[in-house]
Amino acid sequence: MRLLSTILFWLLLAVQAEAAQSDFASKIASLIDPAKLATLRDRGANSRVQKAVYWLATARKAGEQPGKVLDRSVALAGYKNPDAAKLTTNALLRNFDIAEKLGCLNDEGLAEMKHGKAATVMWGPYKGDHLSVDHIVPRAVVPELDKVIANLELMPLRMNESKNAKIGQRQRDMAKKFYEAGLLSRTGLEAVLR
């Protein structure tokens, strides 16, 4: 009887761990679902990046690997194109890394990000600034990328405000990747490559 109780205890723990993994992935999937993103107002996806980073930090604190959580998230969110899924996963991992390097994953920062709000930058030359969401390929040039998670990147607000709608090599390279992944139309690509 004691052996059976021990086995049941460990099975229950395994089921709970799997449910927690699924829960993190489903929370993020809800935030990055392309169909839901398409219904948002301008810049409506920005707060979702903050929330997704919160859930990645929470998953990591629970012992989960953020990359594996995101692999499940993009699958649950319905990303059919593997390139689009990879670009989205990479963008969220990059944003998680940026938030961590800027010291935004402390308790106060996570409390803000949980609600889609800007955390305060705690480290570096922008210490004290708010964390904002930038469009890698400027929305002024290609508005259709406004709600594409792969095109959104965290950075200090002052740095973001000092940028213009300039197109450099990074923007051209990213636009090509977005186009190949089905995230950008031919017209949008041409607007970037002009």
Q: Diameter of the chain by CA atoms?
A: 74
d(CA 192, CA 194): 6
Tokens of 99: 């938030």
Q: Is the pLDDT of residue 15 over 80?
A: no
pLDDT per residue over 58-109, tens digit each?
999 999 999 999 999 999 999 999 999 999 999 999 999 999 999 999 999 9
What secondary structure does DSSP assign to 42-75, as a single string?
Answer: TTTTHHHHHHHHHHHHHHHHTT--HHHHHHHHHH
Every domain of the chain and the residues it spans: 2-193
d(CA 47, CA 115): 8
Instruction: Tell whether the torsion through CA atoms of 24, 27, 30 and 32 is positive or negative.
Output: negative
Q: What helix, strand, coil percent values describe the chain, rounded to 5?
A: 65, 5, 30
List the end-to-end C-alpha distance of the chain, in Å, as a whole number. 74
Residues paired with 152 in a beta bridge? 135
List all residues 6 or more positions away from 148 whose beta carbon is below 8 Å from its beta carbon: 37, 45, 178, 183, 184
Q: Is the pLDDT of residue 123 over 70?
A: yes
In which band, very low, low, confident or very high, does the pLDDT at 5 lie, cut at 50, 70 and 90? low
pLDDT per residue over 30-68, tens digit each?
999 999 999 999 999 999 999 999 999 999 999 999 999
Give the per-residue pLDDT at 165.
85
d(CA 98, CA 3): 47
